[in-house]
Amino acid sequence: MKFLPLILLSLTTSALARGGDGDGNGGGNRTFGNETSPSGGESTKSQCKALARLTSLASLVSNETALAEASHNNATRAEALKAKASTAATTLTAMQANATLVSACAEIAAANAMEDACEQISKLAKLEALTANATALEAKTDGNATKAEALKAKAAAGAAELADLRGNATIAAFCAAQGTEDDCKEMAKLTKEVALATNATAVQAKFEGDADKVAKFQQRAAKAQEKLAVLQGNATLVAMCAGSKAASGSSSGSSSGATTSGTPSVAVGGVDSVRPMGVAVSLAAVFFSGIMLL
Ligand SMILES: *[C@@H]1O[C@H](CO)[C@@H](O)[C@H](O)[C@H]1NC(C)=O
Ligand SMILES: *[C@@H]1O[C@H](CO)[C@@H](O)[C@H](O)[C@H]1NC(C)=O
Ligand SMILES: *[C@@H]1O[C@H](CO)[C@@H](O)[C@H](O)[C@H]1NC(C)=O
Ligand SMILES: *[C@@H]1O[C@H](CO)[C@@H](O)[C@H](O)[C@H]1NC(C)=O
Ligand SMILES: *[C@@H]1O[C@H](CO)[C@@H](O)[C@H](O)[C@H]1NC(C)=O
Ligand SMILES: *[C@@H]1O[C@H](CO)[C@@H](O)[C@H](O)[C@H]1NC(C)=O
Ligand SMILES: *[C@@H]1O[C@H](CO)[C@@H](O)[C@H](O)[C@H]1NC(C)=O
Ligand SMILES: *[C@@H]1O[C@H](CO)[C@@H](O)[C@H](O)[C@H]1NC(C)=O
Ligand SMILES: *[C@@H]1O[C@H](CO)[C@@H](O)[C@H](O)[C@H]1NC(C)=O
Ligand SMILES: *[C@@H]1O[C@H](CO)[C@@H](O)[C@H](O)[C@H]1NC(C)=O
């Protein structure tokens, strides 16, 4: 709830109308996710964002303390927020009445929470590894024992949380699948870069013969080659990437969720599957009419 003022800052007509969020319709049909076409506001994800914003606004105006805080004790602003909430009430009610949308949003929220959990695990694990390695810790803290102790204390404070997160099989499976998918994407990107670097004609064309840029690119490509070799050295990973590529029929990691043998896309399938192929036309209409009123 402490994020309310922030949410409000973005609760402007343009923010609501913006809709499109980069990978809005990423899952089912690629053509829907065409960022160059103005299909913003239609995706389930953006509907969920709108639902969350409107819900926050409704709960904000129903709490005098929070409202006073958010409006900096300015009665004019408070009234404006109340008016906004009142106007949006119909839209909010319609959205909340849509059980499909509400459960899709709950699923997306759960997937987001899982992603947050993965990030938290990675952050705490890094801290744990750092504090367990005296050399690395000394380098990191410039030999300052006070700083080192502070990091150790931080790691100790996070140890229980890390153990809990690691001990959760659902989270572990999700993060492992997500990590594999990230690695597959990384491998595809590095492969392209390395392939380009071996084609002198293409490199010259790309950098318009600028020798400096070409040299820098070749340095990057050499690093990419090293990284790629490490990833490709993992036969399991290579096989899984090939599997998910075949299953999704595309090389750009747009897993449709409809996969066969436990491929990495299982994890994101949970998210993608809640993104409908078609778009909620009627709801979108309600949504947009709500914006017009705001
Ligand atoms: C995806 O888009 C293509 C092209 O517009 C269309 O033919 C196809 O039916 C769509 N697939 C789904 C599952 O909506
Ligand atoms: C996206 O839309 C633009 C303009 O309508 C079109 O030229 C382009 O081919 C589309 N790209 C995809 C991937 O559908
Ligand atoms: C109202 O908002 C205040 C300040 O944000 C918060 O501390 C309090 O818990 C809220 N009250 C209710 C009933 O949600
Ligand atoms: C209250 O907010 C309104 C609208 O933002 C502003 O015009 C007015 O100056 C503010 N009043 C005070 C006392 O800050
Ligand atoms: C500890 O950190 C140093 C410096 O980053 C690194 O070279 C070394 O391999 C690490 N040792 C272990 C056991 O991870
Ligand atoms: C070590 O770090 C602490 C905390 O950041 C700082 O207050 C102290 O001055 C540092 N000591 C030295 C010798 O740099
Ligand atoms: C594991 O994490 C999921 C997702 O956060 C949660 O719903 C579930 O209750 C957790 N399971 C256990 C045993 O803690
Ligand atoms: C190889 O990749 C798989 C799939 O991402 C992963 O589970 C495994 O830990 C990796 N093995 C090594 C040695 O990194
Ligand atoms: C190198 O790149 C050029 C220009 O993009 C392309 O025409 C050519 O087929 C490439 N050569 C190889 C061997 O891939
Ligand atoms: C409810 O929302 C879902 C998902 O956005 C949509 O497909 C459906 O058409 C909506 N139903 C109504 C009655 O608006």
3-state secondary structure the chain: CCCHHHHHHCCCHHHHHHCCCCCCCCCCCHHHHCCCCCCCCCCHHHHHHHHHHHHHHHHHHCCHHHHHHHCCCCHHHHHHHHHHHHHHHHHHHHHHHCHHHHHHHHHHHHHHHHHHHHHHHHHHHHHHHHHHCHHHHHHHCCCCHHHHHHHHHHHHHHHHHHHHHHCCHHHHHHHHHHHHHHHHHHHHHHHHHHHHHCCHHHHHHHCCCCHHHHHHHHHHHHHHHHHHHHHHCCHHHHHHHHHHHHHHCCCCCCCCCCCCCCCCHHHHHHHHCCCCCCCCHHHHHHHHHHHHHC
Pocket test for ligand 10, best of 283, 286, 287, 289 (most atoms within 8 A of CB): 283
The predicted structure's pLDDT at residue 249: 60
pLDDT in tens, 121-170: 999 999 999 999 999 999 999 999 999 999 999 999 999 999 999 999 99
Report the nearest-CA residue for atom 9 of ligand 2. Answer: 34
The predicted structure's pLDDT at residue 247: 73
Name residues contacting ligand 10 (CB within 6 A).
Answer: 44, 47, 98, 100-101, 104, 276, 280, 282-283
State the pTM of this model: 0.61
Low pLDDT (below 50) residues in the chain: 1-40, 250-294
